[in-house]
Amino acid sequence: MSRKIVCLPGDGIGPEVLDGARTVLEAADERFGLGLSFESQDFGGIAIDKHGDPFPDSTRAACQGADAVLLGAVGGPKWEGGEVRPEQGLLALRKTLGTFANLRPITLFEGLEHLSPLKEDRAAGIDLLIVRELTGGIYFGKRQEGETHATDECAYSAEEVERVARIAFKAAQGRSGRLTSVDKANVLASSRLWRRVVVRMQAEEFPDVTLDHMLVDAMAMKLIEAPAWFDVILTENMFGDILSDEASVLAGSIGLAPSASLGDGVGIYEPIHGSAPDIAGQGKANPLGMILSAAMMLRHSLDAADAADAIEAAVQAHLASSARTADLGGTAGTGETAEAVAARLSE
C-alpha cells in the first residue's frame, strides 16, 4: 500500500531540513516497509514568486489528496510588507485541511541540560505536550481596523472546545494521566465557556485523567519555575501560540522542536522554527525538529508507531554523541546530521 506524503519545502532553510527528514524517512521505509511516496509542491514565498499565491490551487489539490503533509518553513524579509504574504498560505492550508489541534511536544534530551536557559536542576526532566486550538479564537474572529480604533473578536463555541479538548484528554491518557487546562476565566467570557466545557468532559468522558486549571499569566511563570511538573497542557489559540514558543527554548534549542497539526483529515507536520534566511543554503540548520515532526507523522497519520519510536530513539542516540549542529554547540551540518540519524535506523 502506497502512502502519499506531500512535501512543502517552502523558504529559507525549509528545503534543507525537509531533505533531511526525507533521508530519514527513506531509511525508515526500507526497514519497516512503509510504502512511502513523496511529492513536492510550491508553498509560501517561493509560491508567491512563481504563482502569485502562497497556496496555489495545484498545491491545495495535492495536499487534499495526500495521506500527510510535511512542511519545512515559510517567510523571509523578501516578502515582508507585501499585500500577499507567505503566512497567509499557512492559515489557508490549516483551514483547507481542517487541522484544529496543534501538538507541540517539548522534551529536554538527556545530556542537553546545560543548553537550557534554566538551571540544570530545574530543567532536568522536562517532557511535556502542549495542545493548542488552531482554527478559532482571536486570530479568526471578526475584526475592524481604522486609524483611531481597532477590534479583534475572540469567539469560541462549545463544539470547538470539545474537539480539541478530546485530543488533549486522550493524549493525557497515553502519558501520565494529567492535564492542565490554561485560560483567563477570571476576565474573559470565552475562557469561562472553555473551562465549563473542559470540566464537563472530564466528568463525563475522562474521569481517569487528573484535571487542573491555570490562568495564562500564572502558567507563563510556572513554565519557568517548574516546567518538569507539567505533562499535557491544553489551551486556546493565542495563549497556545505564546506559551509554546516560551516552552520551546527550555529544551536547549528551537531547532529540536517538532509539531503536528491534526483534525478530521490530513495532518500537517512541521518544525516550529522559522525559515532562518540568515543561514539558508549554508548547511548549518538543525534538521532534528523536522525529523521528529516526521516521526509524529508516522505515529498520528500513518499508524506506524514502531517506525516513529525507532526514529525518536535514533535522534536521542545521535544527540548523545558529540556530532551536533551549531545551535547545540557543535559543527555538524544539516545533511551530515540527517545521514547519521538514518544510519542509526539501519543498524
Catalytically active residues, by annotation? 139, 184, 217, 241, 245
CA distance 235 to 237: 7
The answer to whether 103 and 296 are in contact (CB under 8 A) is: yes
What 3 state SS string does the chain have? CCEEEEEEEECCCHHHHHHHHHHHHHHHHHHHCCCEEEEECCCCHHHHHHHCCCCCHHHHHHHHCCCEEEEEECCCHHHCCCCCCHHHHHHHHHHHHCEEEEEEEEECCCCCHHHCCCCHHHHCCCEEEEEEECCCHHHCCCEEECCCCEEECCCCCHHHHHHHHHHHHHHHHCCCCEEEEEECCCCCHHHHHHHHHHHHHHHHCCCCCEEEEEEHHHHHHHHHHCHHHCCEEEECHHHHHHHHHHHHHHHCCHHHCEEEEEECCCEEEEECCCCCCCCCCCCCCCCHHHHHHHHHHHHHCCCCHHHHHHHHHHHHHHHCCCCCCHHHCCCCCHHHHHHHHHHHHHC
**Nearest by Cα to 128 from 165, 161, 103:** 103
Residue owning grid cell 524517512: 25
**Nearest by Cα to 213 from 157, 260, 165:** 165
The answer to whether 207 and 177 are in contact (CB under 8 A) is: no
Going by their DSSP bridges, the two strands 267-271 and 68-73 should be labelled as parallel
